Amino acid sequence: MTVLVTGATGFVGRALLVRLVREASASAVPVVRACTRRAGHSFPAGIESVVVGDITSVTDWTPLLRGVRAIVHLAARVHVMHDPQGAGRALYQLTNVDATVKLARAAASCGVARFVFLSSIKVLGESTARDEVFTESSPTTQGDDAYAHSKLEAEMALRDIAGQTAMEVVIVRSPLVYGPGVGANFGALMRLVDRGWPLPLAGIHNRRSLIGLENLVDFLARCVTHPAAANQTFVISDGEDLSTPELVRRIAAAQGRTIRLVGVPPRLLMAVAAAFGKGAAACRLIESLRVDSTKARERLGWLPPISVDDQLRRTVRRRDELTTERQAAGR
């Protein structure tokens, strides 16, 4: 069975390729096909790399789909910076909706059996009340977030295609992903902890669900082949919801240090963050966002293979390795 992966050079994509190749060597699966925007990327043995350029609504997928049995579609536009007013939503639509629909229709026409789509928990909202959890049956949001809106529209289009063709669709809604090589806000939080400064987070009493990179790719790999995943939507997490102070303490422990947390009222934190244009990031530190992945566990028999603490330790170890490699290259 050939599995095609889009977004193969991304944070999740590279880890998924390693996992799929490992499964292929164990089960005689012949090919993992990695789609990239440009040439020059190196991949482990057993991966066939194909260059597709920017994925758009006019990409010709047919030559790349010969022999493909399943697709894991990770490619997406996540951040749009410095776009002209109104252009951001159009760019999300082009990449996250139109290009996804083009690929899915081509896949169905070429006889691809299963299409696994990595969506986002953002389609359900940015936060939950402290005692609330998101599940697969939670109502979707029609908020102003262009990224979330594009992911939701893509989900709906994929379900329509599944209803009209023989191709099975699996939708995976993920919360924040962390693991070796993570950047963005989680990477920034790790750097803050690493500096050892007291952090004003002790007054936060939230709960947030996360998903470790190795747990996510394990689940995606299962969705490629498990019969019970067909035409299902899943929300997924590590299964251990952490407050922001607890997460920071665990990051510090993974780094082999202790961290001092001081109590500052969350409203004051929000006001200061908003004044510096960091209101959205502060919300993610202060508010709760919990998901219940019972369906994934019961329907697919899935359990996260790695604990939060182990994933954090591997994340720190990889960061330190990269730092050493950069320092060596600079000498």
What gap in Å lies between CA 17 and CA 9, rounded to an integer?
9
What gap in Å lies between CA 148 and CA 281, rounded to an integer?
16
CA dihedral (241, 246, 183, 264) positive or negative: positive
Residue 280 CB: number of other CB atoms within 10 A? 12
Residue with tokens 């006889």: 111
Q: Is 92 a catalytic residue?
A: no
CB contact at 8 A, 315 and 179: yes
Pairing of strands 47-51, 233-235: unpaired
Question: How far does CA 274 lie from the centroid of its chain?
Answer: 26
Question: How far does CA 228 lie from the centroid of its chain?
Answer: 22
Helix axes 213-225, 308-330, angle to 10 degrees: 110
Catalytic residue among 11, 61, 115, 147: 147
**Residues recognised as catalytic:** 147
